[in-house]
Structure 1
Amino acid sequence: MQDLRRIRTPTLEIAYAELGPAEGPPVVLLHGFPYAPQAYAAVAPILAAAGRRCIIPYLRGYGPTRFLSSETPRSGQQAALGADLRDLLDALAIPRAVVAGYDWGGRAACILAALWPERVTGLVSCTGYNIQDIAGSVRPATPEQEHRLWYQYYFHTERGRAGLEADRRGIARLLWRLWSPAWGFDEATFAASASAFDNPDFVPVVIQSYRHRFGYAPGDPALEAIEAALARRPRIVVPTIAPHGGADGVGPAEASASHARFFTGPYERRVLPGIGHNLPQEAPEAFARAILDLPG
């Protein structure tokens, strides 16, 4: 992303891109693992042309975003992602915004909408309700889904940590192919995002994230109250559209078919045939349309 800006929160110096009129209704676009803000390169111009102010941050552990203190745990747990998003809105003096994302970014957006709904005018969350059920993670999934989650179990081991450290691009490229089997991305497209993985905190943040969600790593003590609130599986009251790629290679579309129960406000699920996990980059018009279709 060009012309990056930086702003400080209590924990991070967040690097972000901004596009669109400064006075427009704000939209925060949040990337996932292992991706980067470049996923929104085609989405943001559509929204900006419609008068929206687009804010596209690098998450903790990605790109030029940096921790302010060496003492802060390099946590990628879900509470950290939600708190970072809330802190970003505070730092930018944005009282309320549409929040939209996928994978880690969709989780952050869901957390903000669930715990601080007064900060959210609308939610776009790919694959539906993304708040983790850590207590329930001990229950095995179907054999097919366990196979899809191989990389998470790999990261639970020191061999996996070493593998990610040694070849973060190789692992990310493989996951892109597995998760978006019909998306013929080229090397230049991959490289534009892969530079974000050179952040010195990328590996510790990723490893902690995938261990914490299964109860295999402690969380940041400062985030315990947020994690306790998330453990109650809070419902989401804000207007929500949930796109789901019909060819998502890590979370199949049928997985979100029953997610309406987690939403007590207006909710619409949209399955996009042939689209994989990186929905905003594979189907930018559909992703932008979901944002523009939210009420208000």
Structure 2
Amino acid sequence: MKTVRAGVLDIAYLDHGPENGPPVVLLHGFPYDVRAYDAAVTQLAEAGLRCLVPWLRGYGPTRFADVGTMRAGQQGALAADLQAFMDALGIERAILGGYDWGGRAACIVAALWPDRCAGLVSAGVGYNIQNIPGAANPLPAAQEARYWYQHLFNTPRGPSVLSQARRDIARQCWTMWSPDWAFDTATFEASAPAFDNPDFVDVVIHSYRHRYSGVPGDPAYDAIEDALERQPAISVPAVVLLGASDAVTPPGPEDTTRAKFTGPYERQILPYVGHNVPQEAPKAFAKAVLSLN
């Protein structure tokens, strides 16, 4: 594990592969951590790529540098963290990959700063940029039910429930979202300490309240959030990996976000794979990254 001061954070990260290899930044989601990429980065490092895998804000050993910084979890903050991380390590351009929160950060950097992104692997959801102005619109009841945790986090008791039951909630999400993934206790316990971060609850609660306009964002990210309201297209080469068994964002037969990708594009639906694509299908994930190298 290494640490680097990047913007408002001291970001902890893993660094695999040759230091002079083509850089790849891989970003985890909620509620997971860097262990999701262990198998994939082994393959990528053997192929000569340098794989950088940071813990996101609010997870693992990553810490805010200043006690006074707002513990924001909004999408603009995640994207700014990714850009700052690359700047701090002197990486001008990299392949970006991620899912869930991490996929959102990767999609935003690819959309707003395409010169920083050599290629994108977006897993779980294709175009993973939130449409916050439209978030109040009702979804089909089945999808609203899949978002039970988001509704919980938007209630007054959400923060205390998450604080007291963070591991139980995380394990329930893993189980529900990936019904064909028979992960064992050791696999879960390898990631669970990441949720003990002192800022985990504040960052998570802010993330899910901000996405529904329930709380204001950090003004430091207003310019990014304003740009995201226009739902910018992604022009870099992109591979979208979707788990056929994903029970929180199940893929439909239609590629509803295809128009948001204006560059070279490929969409794959992976059988018997759920929400945590890189950990459930590391060979497919690594292959997608290598196709962009």
Instruction: Indicate the TM-score class for this superposition, using the shorter chain for normalisation.
Output: over 0.9
Match of 2:24 in 1: 27
Measure, in 2, the Cα distance between the counterparts of 1:195 and 1:268: 35
Q: TM-score, normalised by structure 2?
A: 0.98
Match of 2:114 in 1: 117
Measure, in 2, the Cα distance between the counterparts of 1:47 and 1:271: 21
The letter for the 2-side match of 1:153 is H
- Per-residue displacement from partner, 1:129-186 (whole Å, max 9, x unpaired)? 0000000111101111011001101000121211100010000000000000010101
The letter for the 2-side match of 1:257 is D
| Alignment equivalent of 1:198, drawn from 196, 204, 209 | 196
Match of 1:61 in 2: 58
Gaps spanning 5+ residues in structure 1: where? none
Count of matched residue pairs: 292
Secondary structure in 1 aligned to 2:252?
Answer: helix
Match of 1:228 in 2: 226
RMSD: 0.8
Asked if the contact 2:7/2:85 (under 8 Å) is kept, the reply is: no
Q: Does 1:265 align with 2:256?
A: no
Secondary structure in 2 aligned to 1:131?
Answer: coil
Match of 2:133 in 1: 135
| Alignment equivalent of 2:45, drawn from 19, 43, 48 | 48
Asked if the contact 1:245/1:271 (under 8 Å) is kept, the reply is: yes
Measure, in 2, the Cα distance between the counterparts of 1:34 and 1:112: 21
- Per-residue displacement from partner, 1:232-256 (whole Å, max 9, x unpaired)? 0000000000000000011011187
- Per-residue displacement from partner, 1:18-46 (whole Å, max 9, x unpaired)? 00000100000100000000000100010
Measure, in 2, the Cα distance between the counterparts of 1:261 and 1:193: 35
Match of 2:216 in 1: 218
Runs of 4+, deviation exceeding 4 Å: none
Q: TM-score, normalised by structure 1?
A: 0.98
Secondary structure in 2 aligned to 1:242?
Answer: strand
- 1:1-296 equivalences under 5 Å are 4-126=1-123, 127-254=125-252, 257-294=255-292, 296=293
Asked if the contact 1:128/1:256 (under 8 Å) is kept, the reply is: no
Secondary structure in 1 aligned to 2:120?
Answer: strand
The letter for the 2-side match of 1:260 is R
The letter for the 2-side match of 1:42 is A
Gaps spanning 5+ residues in structure 2: where? none
Asked if the contact 1:61/1:199 (under 8 Å) is kept, the reply is: yes
Asked if the contact 1:21/1:48 (under 8 Å) is kept, the reply is: yes
Secondary structure in 1 aligned to 2:104?
Answer: helix
The letter for the 2-side match of 1:80 is A
Asked if the contact 1:28/1:97 (under 8 Å) is kept, the reply is: yes
